[in-house]
Each structure stands twice: as structure tokens, then as C-alpha cells.
Amino acid sequence: MVLIVISRHIWQDSLDEAEHLRHTYCNKQIYEKRKSIERVFGDLKEKHGLRWTTLRGKSKVAVRFFIF
């Protein structure tokens, strides 16, 4: 007879708690806002060439893309 022990992952309790909190009323409102913001940033990155830059520093990047 072979004894098989099944155990949960060490982080599974934390993952379960995060999943529970994600479905609360307060966090649902936050996710609704995040969904629209993430869509805008995704479009900027994909369609307007903002995925990467060779510039360093916020001021140099702002000048490059006319963000003030």
C-alpha cells in the first residue's frame, strides 16, 4: 500500500485571501476604474510606441513625448 500525502502550497492561504478580497464591494469599484485605465495605457504602449524608450529620467521622457 502506497501512502500519498497531498498538501497545499505554502502561499495558498494568502492567495485565497486575496481572491476573497477581490470580490468585495469596495474592491470591485477599484477594479472597474483600473480596467479603464489599463486599457488606455495598453493602447499607448501598443499603438503609439510607448512600450520602451532609450531615454532616462522623467524630464527627458516628458520632453520626448510632449507630456507636461
Q: Looking at residue 10, what is its pLDDT?
A: 94
Cell numbers standing for residue 20: 476573497
pLDDT digits (tens, 9 = 90+) for 52-67: 777 788 787 777 767 5
HEC string of 12-65? HHHHHHHHHHHCCHHHHHHHHHHHHHHHHHHHHHHHCCCCCCCCCCHHHHHHHC
pLDDT of residue 7: 93
Q: Which of 1-5, 15-19, 38-42 has the lowest mean pLDDT?
A: 38-42
With respect to residue 20, please indicate whether it lies within any of the assigned structural domains: yes
Containing domain of residue 42, as a range? 11-66
The whole-number pLDDT of residue 67 equals 59
- What's the pTM value of the predicted model, to 2 decimals? 0.44
> Residue 50, class by beta-carbon neighbours within 10 Å (0-12 exposed, 13-18 middle, 19+ buried)?
middle
Mean pLDDT of 28-53: 82
Overall domain count for the chain: 1
Is 16 among the domain residues?
A: yes
